[in-house]
Amino acid sequence: MKPPFRQLPGARSVDLFARAQQSLVGGVNSPVRAFRSVGMSPLFIKRGKGARIYDADDNEFIDFVGSWGPLILGHAHEAVLEAVAGALRSGTSFGAPCEAEVLLAEQLKDACPAVDLVRFVNSGNEATQGALRAARGFTGRERVIKFAGCYHGSVDSLLVKAGSGAMTLGVADSGGVPASFVESTLIAEFNDLQSVLDLVNEFPGEIAAVILELIPGNMGVIRPELTFLRGLRDVCDREGILLICDEVMTGFRVARGGAQSLFELTPDLSTFGKVIGGGFPVGAYGGRADVMSQVAPLGPVYQAGTLSGNPVAMAAGLAALSLLEDETIYTELGAKSQALVDGFRSAAAERGIALQTACFGGMFGFFFAERPVRNYADALASNVDIYPRFFKGMLQQGIYLAPSPYEALFMSTAHDDGDLECTLDAFREVLRHL
């Protein structure tokens, strides 16, 4: 590891960002990459290998973002690269069925018993959109319940926030989204079953689905309460509502069977992404055969995509999931994540700084907060003002974290004990100056 950096971003990243702003919206292709929430301009990343990434100025960082989750095996894993190279030699896309998509679907079904039929798409956004459309088509209902602070991609009907109360009807949280697109989206509070029951009672027989992240990762990592999850399953069964588990982030990341296996919850539909693409753009939705049979060509719910199931992305996903059949990987990832957050908590306590942590397999996070964080309101009440200084300090120490206080962090099989020691040393050093 190089010594602490004197200036970040470096001159090359600064120049690239200036150029990017002349051609790309805001200089980026996804908003969080702009680093605005941490008050600096972004680093441009040139390459990655194992647990490390290198920016355009050749600065080296231990990476805990991992392309926002999919790189569970680390950057440029040889098995994934070899699989992709082999697929490329046969062609990049055919717009026709290929064997690899059958094999990957079988892997997904084997890991997640609640999935009878699968439809591959190209992103988590598409997976969520497809699952909602299938749920509405199957039930003949229009309304959907989501939870404040849970993110399901930039699907128009889900870009909503809670407003001033848990029972607020959807209000568009983005420009360009017509009110009619979100008026059927209802907002409940995570870990609050009563907020769901109140909505069900207010709109009897009108709710098609409840969609949730079992482990929220875009308002920080929050632990679900078992009574809440079991209560959701019960109310959905009683009211004929489909339960959709968004496992785009958690699927094959917190356990081979996803978060649904950790909490022994059986959803009607599930969405996947991230890890199942092995670093390539892949999404999927799947679930009960009777629900998925509503999707074309079996049923009237239309969804299509030219690049869906393309052989290159399927090959990458197959290589990754084949390695992840060894479930001791998740035990090891969990142990590393737990050791790191335990170290964070201990170091913070020594400095008298309140810190809340959570980890599940290779996914972890923390809040600068006095009390445990149970929901979106608690996350907003944490000390987010401290995060920009903390983030910059860690970056100067060679540790690459998410440029937002509300994002999950990710461990990979490539992180070793030395990486954890360096990270804890950096954490202690940065806390000294907060």
Question: Please, which residues bridge with residue 270 across strands?
Answer: 245, 286
- 274, 376, 378, 387: the catalytic one is 274
- Calpha distance 137→135 (Å, rounded): 5
Q: Cα-flanking dihedrals φ and ψ of residue 263, to 5°?
A: -105, 10
**Residue 139 dihedral angles phi and psi, to the nearest 5°:** -90, -20
CATH number for the domain formed by residue range(s) 78-323 = 3.40.640.10
**What is the structure's pLDDT at 2?**
52
Query: Is 307 in a helix, a strand, or coil?
Result: coil
Helical axes 311-323 vs 99-111, angle rounded to 10°: 40
Q: What pLDDT does residue 172 have?
A: 57
Q: Is-catalytic flag, 151?
A: yes
Helix (H, G, I), strand (E, B) or coil at 342: helix
CA distance 390 to 426: 10
**Residues 356 and 341 sit within 8 Å (Cβ to Cβ):** no
User: Taking Cα atoms as reference points, which of 253, 260, 412 lies closest to residue 321?
Assistant: 253
pLDDT at 114: 98
- What residue spans define the domains of the chain? 11-72+327-432, 78-323
Count of all residues that appear for the chain in the document: 434
Provide the 8-state DSSP code for 295: B
177-200 b/e (C-beta count within 10 Å ≥ 16 → b):
beeebbbbbbbbbbbbbebbeebb
Indicate the pairing of strand 52-55 with strand 45-49.
antiparallel
Strand partners, 409: 364
Residue 31 token pair: 């908003």
Catalytic residue, chosen from 57, 246, 268, 419, is: 246
Contact 99, 105 (CB under 8 A): no
| Annotation says 63 is catalytic | no
CA 18 to CA 12: how far, in whole Å? 10
pLDDT of res. 175: 79
Parallel, antiparallel, or unpaired for β 171-172 and 160-161?
Answer: antiparallel
Query: Phi and psi at residue 131, in whole multiples of 5°?
Result: -65, -40
Instruction: Outline where 214-327 has alpha helix (H).
Output: 226-239, 258-262, 289-292, 311-323
Residues with Cβ within 8 Å of 382's Cβ and at least 6 positions away in sequence, in order, are 220, 356, 367, 368, 369, 373, 405
**Could you give the C-alpha distances from 290 to 109, 115, 240, 253, 299, in angstroms and in order?**
16, 11, 14, 27, 10
Let me know if 144 is exposed, middle or buried by CB neighbors in 10 A (0-12, 13-18, 19+). buried
CA distance 39 to 37: 6
Catalytic hit among 151, 285, 387, 400: 151
User: What was the pLDDT predicted at 1?
Assistant: 52
- At 417, the amino acid letter reads D
The pTM assigned to this predicted structure is: 0.94
Q: pLDDT tens digits for the chain (434 residues)?
A: 555 566 899 999 999 999 999 999 999 999 999 999 999 999 999 999 999 999 999 999 999 999 999 999 999 999 999 999 999 999 999 999 999 999 999 999 999 999 999 999 999 999 999 999 999 999 999 999 999 999 998 887 787 753 223 333 344 567 777 777 788 999 999 999 999 999 999 999 999 999 999 999 999 999 999 999 999 999 999 999 999 999 999 999 999 999 999 999 999 999 999 999 999 999 999 999 999 999 999 999 999 999 999 999 999 999 999 999 998 999 999 999 999 999 999 999 999 999 999 999 999 999 999 999 999 999 999 999 999 999 999 999 999 999 999 999 999 999 999 999 999 999 999 999 98
Of 299, 109, 29, the residue nearest 120 (C-alpha): 109
pLDDT given at position 169: 39
Pair of tokens at residue 46:
């040139």
114 vs 178, 264, 269, CA distance in Å? 34, 11, 8
Pick the CATH number of 11-72+327-432 from 1.20.1430.10, 3.90.1150.10, 1.10.3720.10, 3.30.1950.10: 3.90.1150.10
Q: Is 274 a catalytic residue?
A: yes
